[in-house]
Amino acid sequence: MSTTTTPRVALPREIWVLVGASFLIAIGYGIVGPALPNYAASFDVGVTAASVVVSAFAFVRLLFAPMSGRLVTRFGERPIYLWGVSIVAIGTLLCAVATDYWQLLFFRAASGVGSTMFTVSAIGLLIRLSPPEARGRASSLWGSSFLLGGIAGPVVGGGLVTVSLRAPFLVYGIALVLTTLLVWWQLRHSSLVARQQDDDAPELTFRQAVRHPSYRAALGSNLANGWVVFGVRMSLLPLFVTAVLAKDESFTGIALAVFAAVNALALLFVGRVTDKRGRKLPALVGLALLAVGVVGLGFTDDPWLFLAAVAVAGLGAGALNPAQNAAVADVLGSKARGGSVLAGFQMAADVGAVVGPLVAGAIAEKWSYSAAFGLTGVVVALALVLWIGARETLPAEKETRPATE
């Protein structure tokens, strides 16, 4: 019988600081989300122009991700994380005082630069700080904190919008300033977070990492995850609810809440399974459930079956994330420098989030919602095929160096 004590490994205090900061950042993101389109429209622009303000943030994240990776490799995770949050804070505060549409567009787009900086550096810190045998649990905590913050944010934002359309941006900007100060204060003397001045520290390049089948699988599944969770779920699902189910926005809110709740429950459970049983099986199960769920969305006109499909998709996404994040950490290794590896992984999700709604939306408009959700299921199924060919990366013993084959 195995005597492993993997689930009992304590996580460093610094990880809990990152988890708390993630929660605060996500709450703020949720606060401004509901207000942004209406705020943009208040400058006497049309629906398309208002939508551009929303998509500009994600587009700039995607463009700047490679530079963020190089900055992390050059200067280390902690300073880039703090600068990233600071840039989003400044950009958000400037959004609150914008005097015309173009100022709002510029300030919101600039915030995307900071967003990708702190996202890539946060993933790097999680990899470096997490014990190899507890990477799944650390990823679950971090993902859960962001998800729960995203659930709480719109509730707070809805109240602030009744005061002023500028109020959410002002509150979020101040919260980010306080978050930056909190993280700096808590991590300023941490020897774990401090960049090791070791010229011999290996650097794993993106080209080296992509030779590893598990990293390729993680890229594919993160693209599928971005396509479904950050793209189609937020764009196509509300339209489907209105056009096919003939329900109002309140039912859309219920569906999104069901997805988030099931996703959070899965995240809390699967992290330990990932650390104990391996990365590959949870990834395969998660992708299978995600594919079944999203395809099921497009082939029902019954609200209860629709919510069931939403729950299955949420369960799949929750099972996938800790596994793919831990696999990337295993490939990189806790001692290696790999900003381009982390940036590439983040870019995969951003590509899915940008391309998914455009492609699925065009297909829904030209053919049907069933075809759009069916194509989304195919994208997830392709990622599943990549994971079938991946290798298990769970460290069998103490990690010594990153895999590059």
What secondary structure, in 3-state letters, does the chain show? CCCCCHHHCCCCHHHHHHHHHHHHHHHHHHHHCCCHHHHHHCCCCCHHHHHHHHHHHHHHHHHHHHHHHHHHHHHCHHHHHHHHHHHHHHHHHHHHCCCCHHHHHHHHHHHHHHHHHHHHHHHHHHHHHCCHHHHHHHHHHHHHHHHHHHHHHHHHHHHHHCCCCCHHHHHHHHHHHHHHHHHHHHHCCCCCCCCCCCCCCCECCHHHHCCCHHHHHHHHHHHHHHHHHHHHHHHHHHHHHHHCCCCCHHHHHHHHHHHHHHHHHHHHHHHHHHHHHCCHHHHHHHHHHHHHHHHHHCCCCCHHHHHHHHHHHHHHHHHHHHHHHHHHHHHHCCCCECHHHHHHHHHHHHHHHHHHHHHHHHHHHHCCHHHHHHHHHHHHHHHHHHHHCCCCCCCCCCCCCCCCC
Q: What is the pLDDT of residues 359-378, one digit of tens each?
A: 888 888 889 889 999 999 99
pLDDT for 12 equals: 81
Question: What pLDDT score does 401 carry?
Answer: 43
More confident residue, 222 or 404: 222
Q: Do domains 11-191 and 204-394 have the same CATH topology?
A: yes
> What confidence tens digit (pLDDT) does each residue in 278-313 have?
899 999 999 999 999 999 998 888 999 999 999 999
Q: How confident is the model at residue 43 (pLDDT cuts 50, 70, 90)?
A: confident
Domain boundaries, the chain: 11-191, 204-394
Q: Would you place residue 5 in the very low, low, confident or very high pLDDT band (cuts 50, 70, 90)? A: very low
pLDDT at 286: 95
pTM: 0.78
Looking at 143-152, 190-199, 230-239, which range is the least confident one?
A: 190-199
Q: Which of 148-152, 260-264, 287-291, 398-402 has the lowest mean pLDDT?
A: 398-402
Topology of the domain covering 11-191: Growth Hormone; Chain: A; (1.20.1250)
Mean pLDDT of the chain: 83
Top-level CATH class of 204-394? mainly alpha
Q: Is the pLDDT of residue 2 over 50?
A: no
Least confident among 127-136, 208-217, 312-321, 383-392: 127-136
pLDDT of residue 324: 92
